[in-house]
Amino acid sequence: MMRMLAAVGCLAAVGSAAAADSFDVGKWEYQNNCVVCHGMSGKGDGPFKGMVDTPAGADLTTLAKRNNGVFPFARVYETIDGTKTVKAHGTREMPIWGADYALRAQAMKEQYGSGQYDPDVFVRARILALTEYVYRLQAK
């Protein structure tokens, strides 16, 4: 629980900095990890459209609608972090974007050591930002 609170705090700090510089962490994560399949609009219209056999799951804009109007925040987070397996994303050990998150965490460990920076909190903050961005993609 404390780690999750720390991740939320880190996300808030990142969000504050992002607001000052007009940088959207969640959108950046989405554009670098999700657009190829889900497309810029989140409707499953990315360049890899049709290469995966899960057309309903590819449309991220209807997640809340398909869940009785409630955005399934925990399920989306778990899908991104690999806890909930999705065939198109790869195995739990290495989801399609797993190397990106794992390599950045490792780079942080090497740069900052085991001091005050926790790479796992950094990765969780990035996943939270991405989950929140998917929330913003929901059809009204």
The answer to whether 15 and 9 have CB atoms below 8 angstroms apart is no
- Per-residue pLDDT reduced to its tens digit, 1-51: 445 444 455 555 555 554 556 899 999 999 988 888 889 999 988 887 766
Lookup: tokens for 60: 């991220």
Report which DSSP code applies to 62: G
90 DSSP β-pair partners: 86, 95
Output the six-digit token pair for 104.
């950045």
Q: In angstroms, rounded to a whole number, what is the distance separating the alpha carbons of residues 130 and 138?
A: 13
SS3 118: coil
What are the tens digits of pLDDT across the range 106-129? 666 666 666 666 777 888 888 899
**pTM flag (> 0.85):** no
Q: What pLDDT shows up at residue 67?
A: 95
Q: Mean pLDDT for the chain? A: 75
Amino acid at 89: H
